[in-house]
Amino acid sequence: MRNKIKNLKFIYVFYIVAILVLIGILSIYSIFGKTKGYIDDTTKNMYINYVYDISKNISDQIVESTSGDIYTTLRNDKKIVEELEKSLQLFVSSKYRYIYVVDKSSENANEFRFLLDASKDVDEKSEFEELYEPLNIKKFNQAYENKKEIYFTQEDAQDVWMTFIKPIVVDGKTQALLIIDFSMQGHLLINNSLLELDRVLKISIFLGLFIFFIIIFFAYIDNKRSKELIGFNEKLESNVKNEVEKNRQKDQQLIQQSRLAQMGEMISMIAHQWRQPLAAISSASAAIKLKSMLNKLDKDKAMELATNISNYSQHLSETIDDFRDFFKVNKDKNDVTYNELIESVLGIIEVSMENKNIILIKNLESKEIFHSYPNELKQVILNLMKNAEDILLEKKIQNPIITIHTQDNKLSICDNAGGVPEDIMEKIFDPYFSTKLEKNGSGLGLYMSKTIIQEHCDGDITVKNNEDGAIFTIALNSQKEK
Amino acid sequence: MKKILFIYLFLHTLLNADSNYELKLYETVIPSIITKQLIKVYLDKDAKILLKDSSKFKILNNCDESVDILIGKNFDDLSNECKNKPIFSTSYKSFKHTKNSFGAFYWRKGRPQIKFKGETIDKFKLHLPNSLERYRQ
């Protein structure tokens, strides 16, 4: 669930970042568009304003020189024409190609006629009154009629030229037009650079958009896959849970079987424990009966036999308590020593072993105190001893011996039944592995012993062989170590 | 059709200001005025460069009786007999000051100019098509 939320958060953050990047790119492009327009207008106006200023000065000079009657004065006085043309020539350069003045012979004339021409080239220079029909004659007529400056571009292969037309107005009447053809190359260069930048930005935006949509698409696919994976994982988790539950139930059944088997063993052990006191009780009872029949039962004897019977009964009751305590589930940790554990286990099993002629050797050297679960440890020790007993009986060993040895934090239980075969040595702690299948072994004894020692008691249990038989060793962490 | 082609070529020439189109303009305008199967042309030095690739004119190296039209701006060295032929000028000066110049095509302030003199056209009994009438002076 946390991963799911984490994935979702990541996806949303990713989407937001992608959208912000997109908005950023579009904003940059929008700002660039406005700036481009501003630069374009500014450079263009810079050129035009300069030409406007020049044209105004020239126009004023012409009006002043001709005393307000331009055509008549220029026609009659060639000297003024020469002077004015020389003035105009001062402005002619590679950037200001043509500067000339034209007028109309009449209001309705279709053509204009040259009055002044700043051209120095003989072939290019027009003659006074030469008729002239410009390509954009409508613009010329428009300026003539409206008495307002006008400018327009005329493109050729190499350059952009702009034509600026200034009407020379005297007493509210247009007397002539001053025309200046000037280069907009600087503006064109800036404009071309801006257009190039614009193209690059457009390509970037296109690529950005393309990448954005690709990323969104893959994020969508990835999200879809993640959802499918989460669903699959949930299903898998559910299946695993079901299987684990099935196994747990199976374990429970096997543990139940194991408990039933242990109960059987317990009953067997109780029977062994009870046999002697019951025989003693029976003997005392028979003595009372016999002496009573022979009228030889005196008060003291009766008291002695009754006390014996009471003591034996008490012993039987204690035996029951011992067994009950032994198998009682106690979830509290307590301080315990190996000696206490072994004494408790032997109290249950010792008689049974003596009856089976098994020699029990105790070599108890450990004085360590362990803070652990005594009942669980007792079950482990009991299990190991019962296993030793079983194998000794199964192999019909002549002088069966079980040795219990404790030293420091270690407890070893050895037998002389020949040891664990090497090929099964690694498997004997596995669940459901048993060499006692014919005797209904559950295969859980050693597995549970290992689980108890390793997981509950924080210790370890190992097995190895010596020349006589198997040695199972329990190692617990003592109080000192903790 | 011819008129449409003429206007197209004329405008195309004006707008592009390219010598190749100038050649096409000459090849369209002159045959529309001098209606002969094969027009024999005598050119001055500059016009020879302009019209050297023409396939519609027969360009003569010597100006003789058979010449139909002179194209150029400087024919001062020619014989009087040859000067009496109709002339199509390539400059305003030649157009204005040459007696037999009936028309001209030249550039003025970067703009193409085409002009025809009504009197000279009538003198040589030439035919000015309607599409060029507006350029008559």
Q: Report d(CA A212, CA A8) in Å as an integer.
A: 19
Average pLDDT of the segment spanning A354-372: 91
Instruction: Name the residue facing A127 among B92, B110, B134 (closest C-beta).
Output: B92
pLDDT at A329: 62
pLDDT at A90: 92
Domains of chain B and any CATH numbers: 2-135 (3.40.50)
User: Lowest-confidence range among A337-341, A454-458, B126-130?
Assistant: A454-458
DSSP letter at B132 equals G
Check CB contact of A322 with chain B, cutoff 8 Å: no
Query: A2-183 with A332-475: one CATH topology?
Result: no
pLDDT at A474: 95
- For the A332-475 domain, the top CATH level (class) is alpha beta
Average pLDDT of the segment spanning A60-67: 93
Every domain of chain A and the residues it spans = 2-183, 332-475
User: Lowest-confidence range among A102-106, A433-437, B26-30, B98-102?
Assistant: A433-437
pLDDT at A28: 87
Residue A259 — very low, low, confident or very high, per pLDDT cuts 50/70/90?
A: low
Instruction: Name the residue facing B108 among A132, A156, A161 (closest C-beta).
Output: A132
Residue A452 — very low, low, confident or very high, per pLDDT cuts 50/70/90?
A: confident
Orientation angle between helical segments A374-394 and A338-355, nearest 10 degrees: 30
Region of A337 please: left (phi>0), alpha (psi -120 to 50) or beta: beta
A2-183 fold: Beta-Lactamase (3.30.450)
Q: Report d(CA A414, CA A393) in Å as an integer.
A: 15
Instruction: Name the residue facing A156 among B17, B92, B109 (closest C-beta).
Output: B17
- pLDDT for residue A14 is more than 50: yes
Q: Report d(CA A472, CA A415) in Å as an integer.
A: 9
Q: Report d(CA B64, CA B66) in Å as an integer.
A: 6
Average pLDDT of the segment spanning A4-21: 72
Check CB contact of B93 with chain A, cutoff 8 Å: yes
| pTM exceeds 0.90 for this model | no
Average pLDDT, chain A: 86
Residue A331 — very low, low, confident or very high, per pLDDT cuts 50/70/90?
A: low
Sign of CA dihedral A210, A212, A217, A221: positive
Residue A157 — very low, low, confident or very high, per pLDDT cuts 50/70/90?
A: very low
Q: Report d(CA A379, CA A326) in Å as an integer.
A: 8
Enumerate the residues of chain B whose CB falls inside 8 A of the CB of residue A161: 110
CA A80, A123, A164: angle at the middle one, nearest 5?
65
- pLDDT for residue A158 is more than 60: no
Q: Report d(CA A348, CA A273) in Å as an integer.
A: 8
At A355, is the secondary structure helix, strand, or coil?
helix
What is the layout of strands, in order, in the sheet containing A173-183?
A131-132, A112-117, A96-104, A173-183, A160-170, A150-155
Predicted ipTM of the assembly: 0.77
| Count of H-run helices and E-run strands, chain A | 9, 13
At A459, is the secondary structure helix, strand, or coil?
coil
Write out the two tokens for A450: 């290992």
User: Lowest-confidence range among A60-69, A427-436, B5-14, B104-113?
Assistant: B5-14
Q: Report d(CA B90, CA A243) in Å as an integer.
A: 106
**Tens digits of per-residue pLDDT, B53-71?**
888 889 888 888 889 999 9
**CB–CB contacts below 8 A, A to B:** 38
User: Lowest-confidence range among A77-81, A327-331, A339-343, A418-422?
Assistant: A327-331
pLDDT at A478: 74
Residue A156 — very low, low, confident or very high, per pLDDT cuts 50/70/90?
A: low
Question: What whole-number percentage of chain A has pLDDT above 70?
Answer: 92
Task: Find the helix or strand (DSSP H, E) in which B44 lies.
Answer: none
pLDDT at A250: 78
- pLDDT for residue A33 is more than 80: yes
Q: Report d(CA A2, CA B61) in Å as an integer.
A: 100
When scoring B45, B111, B133, B134 by the number of chain A Cβ atoms within 10 A, the one with the most, hence best to mutate, is: B111
**Tens digits of per-residue pLDDT, A113-129?**
999 999 988 888 999 99
- pLDDT for residue B1 is more than 50: no
When scoring A100, A119, A131, A159 by the number of chain B Cβ atoms within 10 A, the one with the most, hence best to mutate, is: A131
Q: Report d(CA A471, CA A403) in Å as an integer.
A: 9
The reply to whether residue B92 touches residue A156, judged by beta carbons under 8 angstroms, is no
Check CB contact of A128 with chain B, cutoff 8 Å: no
Whether residue B109 contacts residue A181, with contact meaning beta carbons closer than 8 Å, is answered with yes
**Tens digits of per-residue pLDDT, A171-188?**
999 999 999 999 888 888
CB atoms within 10 A of CB A407: 14
